[in-house]
Amino acid sequence: MTLPPDRLRTALTGISGILVTPMAADDRIDPARLAPIIVRATAAGVDALTVNGNTGEFYGLAFAEAERMQAEVPALVGGRAAVVAGVGRSLGEACALARRARTDGVDAVMVHQPPDPFVAPRGVVAYVAKIAEAAGLPVVLYLRNDGIGLPAIEALTRIPGVVGVKWATPNLMVLAQAIRRAGPGVSFICGLAEPWAPPMTALGAQGFTSGLINLLPERSVAILAALRAGDFARANAEIAAIQGFEALRAEEQNGANVAVVKAALALSGIDVGAARPPAAWPLPPGSAAALRDLLAGWGLLRRDAAE
């Protein structure tokens, strides 16, 4: 059963945790390995969990793997948080995932922005409209390139079913204009994780996406609490405390983003396997050592990894 619209909207204005996709030693996906991550995230108060997001290596998954993740993760969450499923790539694949989302127990779909080099602004609008119609569920837009222009962004927010926009571009002035154009019926979410949440919150966004929740959901929840209280100094101090982790994820042109999360989970005692190419894997020795030191300082390094 999907969440009522008001509860989903509330969840989307909180933390949207982007789950990793666990891999077994033979490189097959193993969704059950998410269980301890989900338990900790929901106990900490993470509002929504996204399967098949970028931290979930969506573009590195075969279609059947994305189907399986969407089918199995809602049961693992068990109603303790809203479940959002990322859909995208070809229109046929995106619609196929969207059509089965409700049956799988998903509360909303998140449409990845098409990376096609010849994408047209009006083509993106048509793409999202067809997926929204196929889903029959609330739709969240994942906007990583605001180059499509404000008219197209506004048109996207007018598509029936669109309830939110994960804004994943650092162009803050365009964000401010997009929020005004969309109106109060559409929630804007910081899609660049914790470090960008304060400035986007100041402009009217609510909540943020997070890959950190796979490892330290309590830190993300503390940042959200500070932002909701209007205590930007405390929020920035909490963000500064995770800066070393985020800096490691930004290495290799952000190619270490998922790899650092997966390596950190393994060092803390939760094995979710490797990150697939083209992600950076394994971490280079210097980065691996820095990550180990960071986790030791946080008290998360399992005993045998510290030896």
CA gap 251, 247 in Å, rounded:
7
Contact 21, 56 (CB under 8 A): yes
E strands, the chain, in order: 15-18, 48-51, 82-87, 108-112, 139-143, 162-167, 187-190, 208-210
Give the end-to-end CA distance of the chain in Å, rounded to a whole number: 47
pLDDT at 256: 98
pLDDT at 306: 59
Provide the mean pLDDT of the chain. Answer: 97
pLDDT at 245: 98
pLDDT at 200 over 70: yes
At position 294, the amino acid (one-letter code) is L
CA gap 102, 106 in Å, rounded:
5
pLDDT at 307 over 60: no
pLDDT tens-digit map of 87-102:
999 999 999 999 999 9
Q: Are strands 15-18 and 108-112 parallel, antiparallel or unpaired?
A: unpaired
Mean pLDDT, rounded, for 270-282: 97
pLDDT tens-digit map of 174-195:
999 999 999 999 999 999 999 9
Percent of the chain clearing pLDDT 70 (strictly above):
99
CA gap 53, 47 in Å, rounded:
16
- Indicate the pLDDT class of residue 303, thresholds 50, 70 and 90: confident
Mean pLDDT, rounded, for 91-120: 97
pLDDT at 1 over 70: no
CA gap 97, 65 in Å, rounded:
11
